[in-house]
Structure 1
C-alpha cells in the first residue's frame, strides 16, 4: 500500500472527516491532456493542500498566494466571489500522475480522495499494405497496434461498414508498462474494397486507424473443367465411332455373304436350265474302252 493510500485512510477515519467534497471521485484522461478536480468546502477554512500519489504538490491559502511545487499543477477559485470552491488542475498528464489525488482542508475537515487514470494511445498499422488478388481468393490482413495503455479495442471496416467480429481474431500482449496487440482479418475477395483497422480507448474522441486498398481482378477461366468436358465428349464420340464401325463392318460382311449366296444360287439355277435344254437320248458321260474287242484288221495280223 503506497503512502497516499495510508494518508487517505488515516484522514478519512470516522470523526475526522469534515464537511467538504471532491468531484469527480474517479477521472480518466488521455495522456497529454489536463485533469481537473473541484473541492467544495462548507464553512470557513484557511488552508487547503493537494497530494498526488503521496507527494504534496500544491498549497492553497484562502487568502494569499497559491504555492505549487511545479508548473504542472495549478489551482484557482471557481469564482472570484466564492472561495468555498477550488479547482485543482494537473496539466499535461502522464502515467506518473495516475493514482490517488488527495485534497486536505486543515482544521476539522480532514481529507477526501479521488482516483486518476491516465490512458495512452499508440500506433496502428496494417502490415500488408495495398493488395491485388484474384476473385474468390481468400485474403488476410494483419493489424498491429503498439504502445497503448490499456489495451485498445480493435475493430475493422470494409468500405466504411463494420465487419462482424467472427471474421477476425485479436490478441493483446503486455510489453513493459504498455500493451501491443495483433488482429487478423480473413475473408474471400469478391470486389474492390477499402480496408480499415481501427483502435480506440475510452478517452479518445475518435479511433486511430490505418487504411489500405484491396483490388480484385477477374478470376482466370478454369481450363480443367473445359478439358474434362472435352475429354468426356471425345470419349463418347470415340465410343460411338467404334460401335458404328463395328456395325458397318458386320453389315458389309453380311451383304457380301448374301451376294455370294445369290451368285451361287444363280449359277446352280443356270446349270439346271442348261441341262434341261440337251436332246433326248443323248447322255453325257465317260467313254469306256473294252479291252477284249478285236477288229478284223487286228485278226488278220
Structure 2
C-alpha cells in the first residue's frame, strides 16, 4: 500500500518537470498546429511522437536531427527554462484522436502528452434549384452535406432568419472512410419570396459551408370570370331577338293590310254588280220587247246568245281574292243577270 502511494507521488513529481501545451488541439485537415514542450530540468534528447510515430528528435548539443517537410521546430529556451516548439504543417485527417507526446531523456524525466483532433470539412448543396410557386403552397427542400468529420451541424436560414431545429429533420450515415454524409429536409409554407440557405459546419471551421436557392412566390391564379362575356352575349342575343320579332310583326301587319284590301275590293265589286242587276231588272220589268220573236230563237241563235253571255261574264268577272273560290251558283246568277240585261 505504501509502495503504491510512493509510486503515484513519483509520477506526479516527474510530470511536474515537463509541460506540453496545449493539452487539446482541434483543427481542420491541412491546417497548421503548434505545441510547446518545456522543462526546468536538464536533458540530453527531446523526442516528439505523433500517433505513436516519431516525427522529430532534438539534441541538446546538435539541435534538431533529420528533416521532415511537414514538421518544423523553434527554440524558445532561456537560461532558466528549456522550451521547444513543434510545428505540424498540413495536418492529416484521422478519424481517431491522435496523441502528441514530448519525451525527454534520460528516462527519469519522463514524458507529457496532448490530444490532437483533426476534422474534415466537406461540401454542402441544396438539391433543388430556384423555385417559383403559388402563395400558400408547401415547399420541400433537401440539403446534402457530404464528406464531413465529425458529423456536421446542419441548419437552415430563410431570408436571414435561422429556422428552429424542430422544423426540419436531419439524418447522417458514416462511410467506410469514417466520413459523415448528412441529409436535411425542410418544409415551409410559401408566403413571401425569399432566399433559402443550408449551412453545414464543424467546430474547427472558422466559417460554415453554405448553399442557397431562391424561392419566388406568385399570387394564386384567380378563377376566370365569365360575367362580362356572358353579359355581352346575352345583350347581343336580346338585340337580335328583338330585331327578328320586330321584322315578324312588320311583315304580318303588311300581309294583313294586303288581305283586307283585296277583301274590300271584292266586296265593292259584288255590291256594284248587284246594284246593276237591280237597275236593269227594274227597267225591263213588265215591258214588251218589240224586237223579240220567239221563232228567231233557234238552236244556233240560242248558242250565239250563250256565247255572248259567257264572254260578258269573262269581261266583267271580279278580281279573285287569294283562297276565294267562285261557286257555280254565283256564275249562274251572274249569267242570268246578263241575259236579262241583253233581252
Normalising by the smaller structure, the TM-score range is 0.5 to 0.7
2:180 is aligned with 1:182: no
- Return the match for 1:46 from 29, 44, 47: 44
1:15 CA displacement: 7.0
SS of equivalent to 2:63: coil
Quote the residue 2:132 is aligned against. 132
Give 1:1-301 correspondences, 5 Å limit: 17=15, 19-68=17-66, 70-78=68-76, 84-96=82-94, 98-107=97-106, 108-176=108-176, 177-221=178-222
CA distance in 2, matches of 1:211, 1:82: 57
Q: Aligned in 2, Cα 1:93/1:62: closer, same or farther, shift over 3 Å?
A: same
Contact 1:60 1:75 (8 Å CA) reproduced: no
**Which digits, 9 at most, give the CA deviation of each residue in 1:183-242, with x for residues without a partner?**
001010001010000001001111110011000110112579x99xxxxxxxxxxxxxxx
Structure with bigger RCO (C-alpha 8 Å, 6+ apart): 1
CA distance in 2, matches of 1:104, 1:129: 55
CA distance in 2, matches of 1:106, 1:18: 15
Q: Unpaired segments of 5 or more residues in structure 1?
A: 1-11, 228-301
**Which digits, 9 at most, give the CA deviation of each residue in 1:166-199, with x for residues without a partner?**
2111011111210000000101000101000000
**Which digits, 9 at most, give the CA deviation of each residue in 1:130-163, with x for residues without a partner?**
1010100000100001000001100011111111
**Which digits, 9 at most, give the CA deviation of each residue in 1:5-62, with x for residues without a partner?**
xxxxxxx956764611111111111111011111111122221000111111101122
CA distance in 2, matches of 1:46, 1:70: 21
- Higher strand proportion (structure 1 or 2): 1
Contact 2:146 2:180 (8 Å CA) reproduced: yes
Q: Bigger radius of gyration, 1 or 2?
A: 2
1:95 CA displacement: 1.7
Contact 1:29 1:203 (8 Å CA) reproduced: yes
CA distance in 2, matches of 1:123, 1:69: 35
Question: Normalized against structure 1, the TM-score is what?
Answer: 0.66
**Which digits, 9 at most, give the CA deviation of each residue in 1:74-114, with x for residues without a partner?**
21112677761111111100125951111101122101111
SS of equivalent to 1:191: coil
SS of equivalent to 2:150: coil
**Which digits, 9 at most, give the CA deviation of each residue in 1:253-274, with x for residues without a partner?**
xxxxxxxxxxxxxxxxxxxxxx
SS of equivalent to 1:166: helix
Q: Unpaired segments of 5 or more residues in structure 2?
A: 1-9, 228-343
Which range is displaced more, 88-97 or 156-165? Answer: 88-97
- Higher helix proportion (structure 1 or 2): 2
Contact 2:131 2:214 (8 Å CA) reproduced: yes
CA distance in 2, matches of 1:149, 1:52: 20
Question: Normalized against structure 2, the TM-score is what?
Answer: 0.58
Matched length: 215
Q: Which runs of 4+ in 1 moved over 6 A?
A: none
